[in-house]
Amino acid sequence: MKKLFVISGSSGVGKGTVIKGFLERNPRFSLSVSCTTRPKRPGEADGVNYFFLSRDEFETAVNNGEFLEWAEFAGNLYGTRRQNIESGENIILEIDTQGALQVKSKMGANVCLIFICPPSVEDLESRLRGRGTEDEETIQKRLDFVKNELELAKQFDYQIVNDSIENAIAQLKKIVEGEQ
Ligand code: 5GP
């Protein structure tokens, strides 16, 4: 079985842009479409960005054992259907850190965990403060969340510092090629 690549990253770190750039240049890879209970955002389509499920539908799928992993993130449920990874090769999962660690503990050596980090917590902090849109409590909460994620990221196989999108895409390509 080929490696399954699982990518997580701090929110606001640009991991979506890095993954999109990688996929455009490496079209043999495809992104697994997750299920979520969060409402659809403008421009999103069912079956393309996510499969949008009600909480009831999601819970039924959990009880039926349909998910390889699932987690609650910011009050909504997110999960990867087992069939998504059974059906193909060269699959990338873009999921949160809790989900990524679940996949690793279930599939072990067949999984490669990659974490995309901000250049530094100080950098993120000064960007948040510079924006001036969040109050002190919100800033502290976001920073605590990021610090906690960076702790979990130590259990990942690789960390990519997103100091420039091009660099980050090149690093991701190198990791994937080295692992295959
Ligand atoms: P968003 O709502 O912004 O699309 O995603 C919020 C978070 O949920 C992101 O960190 C994203 O990586 C994570 N996520 C998306 N799909 C899944 C999934 O299937 N499982 C888990 N555990 N997290 C997911």
pLDDT digits (tens, 9 = 90+) for 152-178: 999 999 999 999 999 999 999 999 999
At residue 98, φ and ψ (nearest 5 deg) are -60, -45
3-state secondary structure (DSSP) of residue 84: helix
Mean pLDDT estimate for the chain: 92
What is residue 133's predicted lDDT score, i.e. its pLDDT? 79
61: Cβ below 6 Å to ligand 1?
A: no
Query: Over the stretch 43-52, which tens digit does the pLDDT of each residue have?
Result: 999 999 999 9
Q: Which atom of ligand 1 is nearest to the CA of 50?
A: 16
Domain limits, the chain: 4-179
The one-letter code for the residue type at 102 is Q
- Reported as a pLDDT band with limits 50, 70 and 90, residue 88 is low
Q: How many angstroms does the Cα of residue 16 sit away from the middle of ligand 1?
A: 11
Residue nearest to atom 16 of ligand 1 (CA): 95
34: Cβ below 6 Å to ligand 1?
A: yes
The one-letter code for the residue type at 136 is E
What is residue 87's predicted lDDT score, i.e. its pLDDT? 67
Name the residue of 6, 33, 36 to mutate for ligand 1: max ligand atoms within 8 A of Cβ.
36
Q: What's the average model confidence in pLDDT over 119-138?
A: 83
What percent of the chain has pLDDT above 70?
Answer: 97
Structure-token pair, residue 109: 């050596």
Structure-token pair, residue 33: 């479409």
Q: How many angstroms does the Cα of residue 73 sit away from the middle of ligand 1?
A: 7
Q: What's the average model confidence in pLDDT over 58-86?
A: 95
Q: Specify the CATH architecture of the domain 4-179.
A: 3-Layer(aba) Sandwich (3.40)
Q: Comparing 172 with 118, which gets the higher pLDDT?
A: 172
Does the pLDDT value for residue 129 go beyond 80?
Answer: yes
67: Cβ below 6 Å to ligand 1?
A: no
End-to-end CA distance of the chain: 11
Q: How many angstroms does the Cα of residue 133 sit away from the middle of ligand 1?
A: 24
Residue nearest to atom 1 of ligand 1 (CA): 38
Q: Which atom of ligand 1 is nearest to the CA of 98?
A: 22
Q: How many angstroms does the Cα of residue 149 sit away from the middle of ligand 1?
A: 14
Q: How many CA atoms lie within 13 A of 4 on its CB side?
A: 25
What is residue 1's predicted lDDT score, i.e. its pLDDT? 64
What crossing angle do the helices spanning 121-131 and 136-153 adopt, rounded to 10°? 160
- Reported as a pLDDT band with limits 50, 70 and 90, residue 105 is very high
Residue nearest to atom 20 of ligand 1 (CA): 79
What is residue 58's predicted lDDT score, i.e. its pLDDT? 98
